[in-house]
């Protein structure tokens, strides 16, 4: 491919190739402090379906070692988002060593708080704000559970902030590095936040899972314990590779829900959300 770069996020290494310079330039800028792996685990392709579509109404198709058919392309202005989606796709489809949970995570004193929920529950926002308050960010999209040790490994890619969360996090982290504002994506407005130096420096360090949270945004403040059975079922739905890992996946997940307390929390605004998390952790 014409333009290419390499980068490692936590235990996963990528090579990203593109028919256009812009997405690679954006990655090189925002991921400049990340390690550059020699041999990547996964390849991502950002390509034009037809040669003339490189120039004429350019549409970025997302491919790679592992692909899903009929994925809709993105406009070139959202090339950075396409690259992020491409990396997420490789992880979701082909990560086989770790049990992959769709969750954000932060760590303090070696203890990890895992937050999972549907899109819009506030996973990324809570993780970014907790990072602003001194927690080590482990990731805002995936948490990787090692079936051999039960430890959580981080995947601190760029934090993907959406819609109203963008202004909230900018106010909390005025000096942080942000990517360009990407208006009108399939998920609304998106702006990427570069994790702080500490998160990047410690990205290979795993942590003991200490608390499982199921946050919901936009409800009156409330909190209830989640029994292991319910946590198990919800986490099977939050995992993209639970089925593929078979017995290893089952063992890792049952161990997690048996040893780690779980809480469902509702919060009306980010301040009370942060307060709830810090009170429980």
Binding interface with another protein (CB under 8 A): 1, 13, 15, 17, 37-41, 43, 45, 47, 63, 65-66, 94, 96-97, 244-246
* Smallest distance from another protein to CB 18, Å: 11
Among candidates 168, 117, 114, which has minimal Cα distance to 139?
Answer: 114
* Smallest distance from another protein to CB 174, Å: 38
Q: DSSP assignment, residue 97? A: S
Of 206 and 215, which CB lies nearer to another protein in the complex structure? Answer: 206
φ and ψ at residue 146, rounded to 5 degrees: -80, 115
Of 244 and 255, which CB lies nearer to another protein in the complex structure? Answer: 244
* Smallest distance from another protein to CB 21, Å: 17
3-state secondary structure of 93: helix
- Whether the CB-CB separation of 158 and 192 falls below 8 Å is answered with yes
194 vs 201: CA distance, rounded Å: 13
Q: Which residue has the tokens 């995947």?
A: 155
* Smallest distance from another protein to CB 107, Å: 24
119 vs 117: CA distance, rounded Å: 7
Of 2 and 133, which CB lies nearer to another protein in the complex structure? Answer: 2
Of 197 and 246, which CB lies nearer to another protein in the complex structure? Answer: 246
* Smallest distance from another protein to CB 187, Å: 26
Among candidates 6, 2, 41, which has minimal Cα distance to 22?
Answer: 2
Of 130 and 203, which CB lies nearer to another protein in the complex structure? Answer: 203
State the virtual CA torsion across 220, 224, 230, 233 in degrees, nearest 10: 40
């Amino acid at each position: 491919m014409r333009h290419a770069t390499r980068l490692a996020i936590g235990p996963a290494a990528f090579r990203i190739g593109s028919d256009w310079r812009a997405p690679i330039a954006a990655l090189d800028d925002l991921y400049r402090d990340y390690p550059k792996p020699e041999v990547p685990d996964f390849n991502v392709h950002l390509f034009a379906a037809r040669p003339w579509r490189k120039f004429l109404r350019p549409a970025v198709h997302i491919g790679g070692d592992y692909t899903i058919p009929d994925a809709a392309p993105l406009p070139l202005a959202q090339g950075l988002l396409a690259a992020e989606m491409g990396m997420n796709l490789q992880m979701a489809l082909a990560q086989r060593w770790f049990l992959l949970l769709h969750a954000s995570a932060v760590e303090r004193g070696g203890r990890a708080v895992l937050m999972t929920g549907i899109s819009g529950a506030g996973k990324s926002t809570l993780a970014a704000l907790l990072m602003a308050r001194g927690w080590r960010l482990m990731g805002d999209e995936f948490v990787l559970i090692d079936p051999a040790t039960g430890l959580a490994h981080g995947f601190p890619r760029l934090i993907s902030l959406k819609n109203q969360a963008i202004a909230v996090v900018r106010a909390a982290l005025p000096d942080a590095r942000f990517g360009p504002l990407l208006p009108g994506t399939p998920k609304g407005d998106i702006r990427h936040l570069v994790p702080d130096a500490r998160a990047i420096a410690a990205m290979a360090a795993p942590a003991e899972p200490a608390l499982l949270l199921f946050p919901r945004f936009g409800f009156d403040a409330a909190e209830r314990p989640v029994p292991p059975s319910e946590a198990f079922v919800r986490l099977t739905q939050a995992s993209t590779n639970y089925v593929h890992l078979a017995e290893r996946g089952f063992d890792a997940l049952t161990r997690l829900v048996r040893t780690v307390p779980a809480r469902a929390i509702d919060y009306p605004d980010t301040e009370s959300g942060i307060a709830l998390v810090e009170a429980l952790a």
